[in-house]
Structure 1
Amino acid sequence: MRIDSYIEKLLFEYNCVVVPGFGAFLAHGKSAEIDKATNALIPPSKTISFNAQLSKNDGLLVSHIAKEKKLGYEEMLQEVEDVSKDWNTRLSQGESIELYGIGKLFHNRDQKIQFQPENKINFLTSSFGLSSFAATPIQREVLKEEVQELEEKIPFIITPEVRETTSFRPWLKYAAVILLAVSLGVTGYRTYGDLQQKQVAAQQDAQQEVSRLIQEATFFESAPLELPAVNIEVTKRHLGKHHVIAGAFREEQNAEKKVAQLKEKGFNAFYLGVNRYGLHQVAYDSFDDPKEALAFLKKVKATDSRDAWLLSEK
């Protein structure tokens, strides 16, 4: 199964897409810039990078593919994990993996995963339709040389017989030269002024866009998934220091839905809160005794979910 098209689609909306068991593709905002070598103005964009350390399943990619293909979550999770195993095997054998619209993955000499972005697609939706354009610098010295050349080519003939009647013609020559120089200067000034205004406007738009992105959540930015709302009555309970975690979600309503599902299965599940990454955590249960927590975790892994893990607070 190919999953690169689903990853590409999610990168337009999210700044982090995790492939369970493999790693995460991260989107970073990049402001507009000017290429001094070509005088090209490049619009704002998103650059894509890869982090093999972020391989824990957060549910985003699996839920998206399951919804698109109308399959169950657990079934789709197994298929995605199989893809991750296949990718790791191919990379360890010296192959490279091409992800359409995203980039290329390969191993370096230290057997570490390297990522080369494709950079053909701008994942920043606010820059849709914008393309780079070259700004032509104004050459004032060239205009001056052209005026001098035209001045030399203007016909200027005075005969002794009619000197008195044609003595005003030298003024016509200089008037023509001045008029031509003024016309060229005005045209050049207007072109330069329009170009300066476009560059300033583009830079201001880029700065405004960067400021807006900074004010938003910069790492786990997302829009609510279209899931049915679930109302959960939250009651105060005694919490131990050792929690068996069922999952972490970007949206709180997804966490509440997970709590309801686990309670239907008979677990004493509850909403733990938001971690330092901005994710909403759901726990199967909480314990004061670490041995009891480990025994319960082993039972959950065997009967309900292999992705469960233990969180211990200091």
Structure 2
Amino acid sequence: MSIQDEFSFINRIRPSTIHHQDTLVTGIGDDAAVYIPSPSQSQIICTDTLVEEIHFTNQTMSPYQIGYKALAVNISDVAAMGGTPLYYLVSIAIPSNWSEQELLEIYNGMSEIATTYRMDLIGGDTVSSKNSLMITVTVIGETEKGRQLLRSHAKAGDVVFVTGTIGDSSAGLELLLERGRNGGFNEEESYLIHRHQYPNPRIEVGRMLSKMERVSLNDISDGLASEANELAEASQVMITLEAELIPLSKELTNCQVEHAIDKALFGGEDFELIGTMSQADWEILQQNGQTTLSKIGTVSDGNPGVVLKQEGSLITLEKKGYNHFKK
């Protein structure tokens, strides 16, 4: 590890602004952080680890982008629960070939998105690593008691929906792996790359959905097919997706004409939301003019699983997507 003085480094990453959350008692600077949870809220805790050469390389993301994404993917988990993010902790294992300035850029990237959501950095750890950089981020959030959104709430007759467009991130990663970060990309390719490097957690949508009577929800980290299967398994239902309804960006269809739908189904790392709600609630949203959600299928009784309706055929979609342990 190239940091000469760990305590000096901690002082450099310590937030210099006042706390965003008034429930925080003690953050960085003591043996542990202390905060006071609101008695009317349920606490949400999630964690993710990003490993160099598995989740990122210097060919695909700058240190700043690595930091931004490391926190964004955790915020997306909070969004999928219908919650609001409050605090985050960062543990980082650092090999000797990473400079202190690069590490500061990682924390600066996190700070950008943390400021957007008024989150406080309240702790973590720094250790040395022999080979790869490893970043583990833990996020603490909250939602109203009894209003958390779970994967197990889907029922027959529900509408299946997604936010945004699907498949962009995977296409962006493919471009980066082919040409590197300085590959001379056109406007459409740059859009896809930005979608990979700067995920947009759907906190506002999750909060809106948490006010509804019954919603199942999941974030799309491993691909649409995988996440839809998780909903089907948790709720013990059959999900039918319609290929022609899956929202694809014009940038994706222009750059990936033949494989756009595969990027959406199996690519992963879009960090959009997939969920279900009753047909009645869906119709109310449409009457109110919502444009954030797109209907992509329906829920029915049957053996838990997912099928894709495409050009008159029904295709079983296996629970496959990005798998960290697949050789």
TM over 0.5: no
What's the TM-score bracket when you normalise by the shorter of the two chains?
A: under 0.3
Greater per-residue strand proportion: 2
Q: Please, what TM-score do these two structures have when normalized by structure 1?
A: 0.23
Q: Please, what TM-score do these two structures have when normalized by structure 2?
A: 0.22
Greater per-residue helix proportion: 1
Bigger radius of gyration, 1 or 2? Answer: 1
